[in-house]
Structure 1
Amino acid sequence: MTDIASSAFMNSLLKPVQAITEQDPLIMGPETSCAEALTLFSKHKGGFQTKCCVLAEDGRLLGLVSLKDCLNRSNASDPVSAVLQKRFPTVDSFATAEATALEMAEEQLDIMPVIGTDGRLAGVVQANKAHRFLIEELQEDADRFVGVTRTNQDDYFEHTVWSDFRRRFPWVLVLAIAGLAAGYVVHIYEDALDALVILALYMPMVADTGGNVGTQSASLVTRVLTTGDVRMHEGVRILWREARVALLMAAMLFTFAFLKVLLISNVADVPDGMTLTGIGLAIAVALAAQVVSATLIGAVLPLAAIAVRQDPAVVSGPALTTIVDMTGLLLYFAITTSMLGIVAL
């Protein structure tokens, strides 16, 4: 999510603690009596509070005093320093709002003093504001991500036939032109096909298999992105998973292709100096490479489409067909001619 949802999520993480800090909190001196403290608690304009900060004359934070401790004090004339809480967590002014709010939620803190660079109190974060911040950020993150995916998922009937044509035809036209490259690849390796006709027999299998695994990968990744199960910033995790699946499929199809060439092909089609085993091995390696390549291309295209704010359903399908065909033919001919020692002019 240059991924929209991910960048927005990261921006929320970078919000400074000042975004949720009360700059004019309730404070009192150490000599304030518990009776006076109760009055200050009740009259504070910032809303109901259960704790407040006790400061020295120079602005240094001495500790916290709680409303409960003042109420429970038998002698209301005792100073708050008698019930002062001297051990408590604080954050500096460079902390993030997210980290501060999470810490307060996890530790069930009522108040979090914020200490400035000069060592003095810069404000406090109240529990209700920290909790509200977390809820709002979670809701915003959900709304942002749903907004990204909903554009790709739910706007089909919002387009007119003409606008639908306009968003589709540039990709189809450009990729049709790019598809000419696939024909050029075959032209380059015409001599290889003349020297070994059996290579032409297995071209459809390699092309179809690449298209199938690529489409499968693209469909699964598109679905998981649009349903919100995985976020864009987890792209590396998606690619790692698809790579492992691709290797397993490549191993299976390698075995299938090798046995198919070895057991079904006509020995009469094998020219002198070559063996059916060698040809089968070359075709199987090329097919395995195509499977891995097509699977990863299928996984990358939806991620790339959303990254550039395009509909993956519109972009990845046509692009996948052209790219997989071209790369598949290149891999097929490059690997088989290299392994079999065929010179392509």
Structure 2
Amino acid sequence: MTPNGTKHNELRQLVRSQLELLLESGNLQGAKSLLIPVQPVDIAEAIEGLPEAIQLIAFRLLSKGEAIEVYEYLNSDVQQALIQEFKRQEVLDVVDKMSPDDRARMFDELPAKVVRRLLAQLSPKERQATAILLGYGEDTAGRIMTPEYISLKETLTVSQTLEHIRSLANASEVVYYLYVTGSSRQLTGIVSLRDLVIAAPDTSLVEIMTRDVVFVHTDTDQEEVARTIQRYDLVALPVVDSEDRLVGVVTVDDVIDIIEREATEDIYALGGLQSDKDNYFQTSLWTVARRRVVWLLILLLTNTVTGAIIRSQEDLLQQVVILAAFIPLLTGTGGNVGAQSSTVVIRGLNTDEIQNMGASKVIFREATAGILLGLLLGSMATVWAYFLQGNISVALSVGISLIAIALLASVAGSALPFLFRNLGLDPALMSAPFITTAVDVLGVLIY
């Protein structure tokens, strides 16, 4: 982390600790003054770090405009807790003024009963905007887009457009991209604010707009939306319906949140965990244990096969006891090699980095890497085993087994993600447990 980043973190922690001290001592005016120069996102973080009993007090110190902005940055648990404590008018003041996409995201986290009550209290305009977003499928472009954008008719001139922007700028989340539509609201082009500023006042929008527009449909998956914005370096991405009518835009700040959530889900899945989009550290221990025990039970049962293989060689192990000492080395190394292969393949699938290579090329590449790793590790293991035992047969068995296990682990680690994806399963969640089991069982069988 950079020195400036470290300093900023220290300041945030200082604000949180001072805010807590002032509130606990009843110095509300001092707490209010403390928050005046602080950014909304940092205020939200400070409130999240406070004891639940004083979170509402801190929030009520904010002005109405600042409270709305801060509320959008709070995590869903704190938002829900505050809503339960708000008076009816406070709920309306905050929720009604939120941007539609942030409001829809919050409603996804709230109980259905609370959502119905809040929807009924919204103004007709905001209720309709929120209901439209909630009507789209979860994790799609339609669900995360904002309907607050500026659209322009092709017949407008530059001077008319600038006047139109001035009248609507406060009602739009994005003013640097302006979308041009035809008579039936079909998206026909895009024009930047820069192009408008430098163009002659009487120039028609048709003359300066770009017709080659990158867009997504309302049912496009949010991960694909994020990749599109990343690929074309966009700040906002228009969303159209099935008839190519412009219905909203997805902004880059929402995409950053999506990328973070999806990466978190993938990391949890690689460990055999199901996140269900909850904050793991704010989930009850019973729920955590229930989610984690499933795969552990499966691994416990399948690994009994490993024990059965070892028991079948009991006579040999009694004759050459040192053989047993190398079993953890072989299975552990195989598991690590398999985990490395599956990690790079799963990441490649998620980012489309290996889309053009095809499964066979990726698996062959990883198999080759597995052989190279096996030769390196097997040579060292052979020398080490001979040094410990002085038995060339044991040493060669360990070395050759390690080469075979590294090859097996690389192939399994690269092939299983493709297999599970083709079966419609989550490669990240399914691959890790199966790779561990396959490598353990077959590795011991090879040895």
TM-score by length of 1: 0.49
Q: Which one has the largest radius of gyration?
A: 1
Structure having greater relative contact order (Cα 8 Å, sep ≥ 6): 1
TM normalised by structure 2 equals 0.40
